[in-house]
Amino acid sequence: MKKIFIPVFILAVGAMILMSAWPSIVDSRKPVNMFIAKAKAEGALPLLQFVNAPQEGDAVQAEIAKFNSMSGGIKLTAGVFLASENMDSLLHYNIQSPAFIIFDADGKVSVQQNGLANAAELIKMTQDVHTH
């Protein structure tokens, strides 16, 4: 009886730990959250752009490249996500597509704006963003 108790106890504790950690594991595997983590690891500020069509995403990437050449030190990395495939993220951030979100260095939402990202507007918006 005592020989069975220890393995059963270890399995029960392991199952409880896995059940409590599972929602966090699933949430961290979402493409939006994986992009944010990768951008922060690279030392850039993540910008999530939600679009309705791939052509809008191409225009945003061009604007981000223009911003990075003009910004003077702040580097943005844009992740373009189709709204139709990321409805849970749109609901989480309470936005409608097209819209974008800029996160600061701590991973907090710094800018949340409707429309497509524009280099000139981004320069104004990122002046007060915590970068390190």
Q: Is 15 part of any domain?
A: no
23 is a domain residue: no
Q: What SS3 class is residue 116?
A: coil
Residues 60/119, Cβ–Cβ less than 8 Å: no
In-domain check, residue 13: no
Distance CA 68, CA 84 (A): 28
Please report the pLDDT score of residue 28 as a whole number.
63
**7 located within any domain:** no
Look at the chain and report how many structural domains it folds into.
1
CATH of the domain at 117: 3.40.30.10
Residue numbers of the domain that contains 53: 31-127
Q: What pLDDT is recorded for position 11?
A: 85
Tens-digit pLDDT string for the chain (132 aa)? 677 888 888 888 888 888 887 776 666 677 878 888 888 888 788 888 898 888 888 888 888 888 888 877 778 888 888 888 888 888 888 888 788 888 887 777 778 888 888 888 888 777 766 566
Angstrom distance (rounded) from CA 44 to CA 94: 24
Beta strands at 45-51 and 76-82: parallel, antiparallel or unpaired: parallel
**Peptide bond between residue 46 and the one before it cis (omega within 30 degrees of 0):** no
- What per-residue confidence (pLDDT) applies to 129? 66
DSSP type of residue 42: T
Q: Is residue 85 part of a domain?
A: yes
**18 found inside a domain:** no
